[in-house]
Amino acid sequence: MSVHPMPEFGSFCLLLALVLTVYNFVVGGFALWGASAGGQRATSVPVARWSRLGETARRAGIASFAVLCCAAFALVWAAFTNDFSVEYIRAHSNIALNPAYKFAALWSGQEGSLLLWAWLLSAYGFVLRMRHRVDVRLSAYASTILAAIQVFFLLLLVVAAPPFSIAPGPVAADGAGLNPLLQYPEMVLHPPMLYLGYVGFSVPFAFALGALMMRYPGEKWIHITRRWTMVTWLFLTVGIFMGAHWAYSVLGWGGYWGWDPVENASLMPWLAGTAFLHSVMMQEKRGMMKNWNVWLIFSTFLLTILGTLLTRSGIISSVHAFAESAIGAWFYTFIVIAFLVCLITFLMRRDHLKSENKLESLVSRESSFLFNNMVLLAACVTVLWGTLFPLISEAVTGSKVTMGAPFYNRVNIPIGLFLLFLTGLGPLLAWRSTSLRSIRRNFILPAIAMAVTAVGLMAAGLRPWNDGDDMHSTFFSLTAFTLAAGVITAIVEEFVRGASVVRTQTGKNLLSSAALLTRRNTRRYGGYIIHFGIVVMFIGIAGGAFNQSVEQEMSYGDTIAIGPYRLVCESITQDSKPEYDTNYAVLDVYKNGKYVQQLSPEKRIYFAGTDHEQASTIVALHSTAESDLYTVFEGNNPDTGRPIIKVFLNPLIAWIWIGVAIVVAGTFIALAPNLARSPARLRQEDAVPVGVAAVDAAGVLAKAPNV
C-alpha cells in the first residue's frame, strides 16, 4: 500500500486532466476541420459524424474540470492534514498556521498558484462548454482554443512544476510556514480575485481568435463575450485594489502603489482590457475599429501570460514575486507560439476585418473613444517599457538599470489627467459629429464647475506653482480636482437630463426617475456610475500631494504631533504567541485636543516552523473621509534601544477605496438586464405631451448607444 495516497491521487488527477485536455484540443480541432468545407471535401464524412466527434471533445473538456477539482482538493487536503511529505506543503504551511491561511497555501507558492490558474481556466471552460448552445460552432472554436491554453499549464504542472512532489528524506515534523507578509485576511481573497481576472481574459480571447479563424459574420461574438469581459475586468479591478490595500495595510511604508514590477504586471492587462471594453462599442454601433479590437484582446491575453511569467519565473526582483525557477523558458515558448498563432490568423483573415464606416469628425463620440484607447495604450506601453527595462538594459549593457517611481509618474500622471478629461468629454459628444450649439449647451455647466473649483482651491491656499518633482505635486492635484469637478458635473447633468424626461413621462420624483432611467438602460448608466467611481478614485489619489510624515523615538509619555493630531505614548509592550513574538506601542490619539481613539502598531517576529526569524509590520490606522492617520512600529534604535514610531497623515485616501466600491456597484448595474416596459406603459408614455427640451432629451436617450 502507498505511503502517500493523497499526493499520488493528486498527481494522477493532473495527468488524467492533461490527457482529457489534449483529447479536447486535438479531437476538437480535428472535428472542426472535418466539419468545414475543406474537411468535407477531403474525407466525404457527413457533418453529423464530425459533430458527434466534436461532442466527445466537449465532454472531455467538461470532465477535465471535475478532475482538476479533485487535484486542487488533494492539495488543500494535504495542507489541512499537515502532510509534510509533500514538498510544497512543507515549504508553505506549518502546524500552527491559521486554517484560513492553510487554505491560502493553495496559491502561496509557485506550483500551487499554477494549479489555481489551471483550475480556474477549467472552470471558465466548464461554463463555456455548458452554455455552448448560445452558438454551437463558435463555442466549439473557443473551447478548442481554451483547451490549447490549458494543455500548456497542465504540462507545467505535470513536468516542470509538480505541486505533489514528495519531499526528500524523512518526513519533517513541521513545515516552514507561510510568509508573514501573506498572513493577512485580504490575502485569502486578493490572489483568487486577481487570477479570476487574469484567467478570465482567456475566454474573450478564445472567442475573438475563433471568430477570426472561422470568418464569423457580424458582431455576435462581441455580444456573446461582453458579459465575460466585464466580469473578468471587474475581478481584475477588485484584485488590483485589494493588492494595493494589502500593500498599504501591511508593508508599513505609508503608500499603496510603488510601481513594483508585479504590480505593473497586473496593471498592464487591466489597461488593455479597459481599452477593449470601450473600443468594442465602436464596432457594435458603427462597425469600426475591427482590427484594433482584435489586437486589443490578443494583447490583453498575452499581457496576462507575461504577468504570470514575471511573477513566477524569478526574472525580476519584487516583494510579490516567487523565487527564481526554470519555468521561464516554458512561458517564453508559449508567448511566442501564441503571438505567432494570432499574427498568422490575422494576416490570413484580415480582409474579414474591414471597417464599415470611417471617422467623420474629430469632435464626435467616435473620436473620444479613439483618443481614450490611445491614452490607455500609451499608459500600458509606458508601464511595459519601465517593467522590462532592467532586462533590456542588462542584455544590452551587462548592467541592470531599474526604472523607479519618478519615471512612471512623470509619464503616467499627465496621461491619467488626460484620461480623466476624456471620461467627462465622451458622454457630452454625439455620434458622427457634434454641432457647436450642442457643445455650448453640454459644456457650460461642467466648465462653470471647473472654474469655481479651481478658484476655490487656490483661494484656500492650493497654488499650482507650488510644483515639484514629486508624484503628487500640487499642480497635478489642482488639475485633478478641477477636472474631477467638471466630470462629475457632466455625469450628473446626463442623469438629470434623462431623469427629467422620465419624470415628465411618469410623474415620479427626480430621484425615482433617475433610478428608473438607470434600470431602463443599465449598460449606459451603469457605465456612467463606473466613470463616477473612477473620478472618486482620482480625487483620493490627488490627495497624496498633502501627505505628511514624522518619525521619532518614543517611550512612556512622549508625544508626536502631526497636522491636527497629537499622539501620546501610553506604553511599549512585548508579548508572545504560538507563531510569533510581538512588540507594540499603545498610542492615545487626540485631534484638536479631543480624544479620538487608541492605536497599537506592532512589529512581529515569526519563528514557528521556520529556520530563521521573519519580521512583519502590523499597521494601526485611524481612517476618516478627510484623512488617514497611519502609525508604524519600526523597531528599536540599535544605538539607544528605544522604539521608533513613524506616523503618516494621508489626506483623502479613503476615497480611493470608496471609488472602487462605486466601480463595483456600477459594473453590477451595467451587467443587469434592462427593465422591460409593457405595451400599455409604452402607450401611456407616448401619450404624455412633452416640451421641446424634453423631446430633444428623449431623442438622445432613445438613440444614444449604451456606454
pLDDT exceeds cutoff 60 at 529: yes
pLDDT exceeds cutoff 50 at 687: no
H helix runs in 322-404, sequence order: 328-349, 365-397
Mean per-residue pLDDT for 107-123?
A: 92
Mean per-residue pLDDT for 596-624?
A: 81
Most confident stretch, 94-108, 351-365, 441-455: 441-455
What would you measure as the largest C-alpha separation in the chain, in angstroms? 91
**How many residues are present in the chain?**
707
- Give the pLDDT score at 388: 87
- Give the pLDDT score at 42: 60
Which residues make Cβ contacts (< 8 Å) with residue 455, sequence separation at least 6? none
Question: How distant, in Å, are the alpha carbons of 158, 191, 192, 196, 525 from that of 230?
Answer: 32, 19, 17, 12, 15
602-606 vs 614-618, strand pairing mode? antiparallel
Most confident stretch, 169-178, 271-280, 284-293: 271-280
- Give the pLDDT score at 688: 41
- Give the pLDDT score at 691: 36
Question: How distant, in Å, are the alpha carbons of 233, 288, 307, 357, 522 from that of 285?
Answer: 21, 8, 32, 10, 17
- DSSP-based three-state secondary structure for 74: helix
* Residue type present at position 127: V
Choose between 399 and 627: higher pLDDT: 627
DSSP characters for 142-160?
A: HHHHHHHHHHHHHHIIIII
Yes or no: say if 199 and 120 are a contact pair by the CB < 8 Å rule: yes
Q: Residue 523's beta-bridge partner residues?
A: none
pLDDT exceeds cutoff 80 at 258: yes
Question: How distant, in Å, are the alpha carbons of 491, 521, 677 from that of 674?
Answer: 20, 6, 9
Using only C-alpha atoms, the chain has a radius of gyration, in whole angstroms, of: 28
- Give the pLDDT score at 272: 95
Q: Which of 676, 277, 707 is nearest to 523 (CA)?
A: 707
**What is the pTM (predicted TM-score) of this model?**
0.89
Report the alpha-carbon distance of residue 273 to residue 229 in Å, rounded: 8
pLDDT exceeds cutoff 50 at 2: no
DSSP one-letter code for 166: B
Choose between 175 and 681: higher pLDDT: 175
Give the count of beta carbons closer than 10 Å to the beta carbon of residue 680.
8
Q: What percent of the chain has pLDDT over 90?
A: 47
pLDDT exceeds cutoff 90 at 318: no
602-606 vs 580-591, strand pairing mode? antiparallel
DSSP one-letter code for 625: S
Question: How do residues 633-671 score in pLDDT, each as one tens digit?
Answer: 988 888 887 889 999 999 999 999 999 999 999 999 999
pLDDT exceeds cutoff 70 at 359: no
Report the alpha-carbon distance of residue 632 to residue 242 in Å, rounded: 20
Q: Residue 602's beta-bridge partner residues?
A: 584, 618
* Residue type present at position 75: L
DSSP characters for 632-680?
A: EEEEE-TTT--EEEEEEEEETTHHHHHHHHHHHHHHHHHHSPPPP--HH
Question: How do residues 536-578 score in pLDDT, each as one tens digit?
Answer: 999 999 998 889 999 999 888 899 999 999 999 998 888 887 7
- Give the pLDDT score at 27: 94
* Residue type present at position 362: L
Mean per-residue pLDDT for 37-54?
A: 70
**Distance between alpha carbon 320 and the CA centroid of its chain, in Å?**
16
- Give the pLDDT score at 695: 34
- Give the pLDDT score at 468: 46
Report the alpha-carbon distance of residue 260 to residue 603 in Å, rounded: 23
Cβ-based burial of 170 (10 A; exposed 0-12, middle 13-18, buried ≥19): exposed
- Give the pLDDT score at 675: 84
Question: How distant, in Å, are the alpha carbons of 102, 107, 117, 425 from that of 187?
Answer: 12, 10, 16, 37
Which residues make Cβ contacts (< 8 Å) with residue 180, sequence separation at least 6? 580, 604, 606, 614, 615, 616
Per the rule left: phi > 0, alpha: psi between -120 and 50, beta: everything else, 431 is beta
pLDDT exceeds cutoff 80 at 169: no
Q: How confident is the model at residue 404 (pLDDT cuts 50, 70, 90)?
A: confident
Q: How confident is the model at residue 701 (pLDDT cuts 50, 70, 90)?
A: very low
DSSP characters for 575-601?
A: EE-SSEEEEEEEEEEEETTEEEEEE--
Cβ-based burial of 393 (10 A; exposed 0-12, middle 13-18, buried ≥19): middle
Question: How distant, in Å, are the alpha carbons of 113, 161, 258, 671 from that of 75?
Answer: 11, 14, 33, 35
Yes or no: say if 115 and 192 are a contact pair by the CB < 8 Å rule: no
- Give the pLDDT score at 535: 95
- Give the pLDDT score at 235: 96
Residue entry with cell 482554443: 145
Q: Residue 590's beta-bridge partner residues?
A: 566, 595
pLDDT exceeds cutoff 70 at 125: yes
pLDDT exceeds cutoff 90 at 526: yes
Which residues make Cβ contacts (< 8 Å) with residue 130, sequence separation at least 6? 62
Report the alpha-carbon distance of residue 146 to residue 128 in Å, rounded: 10
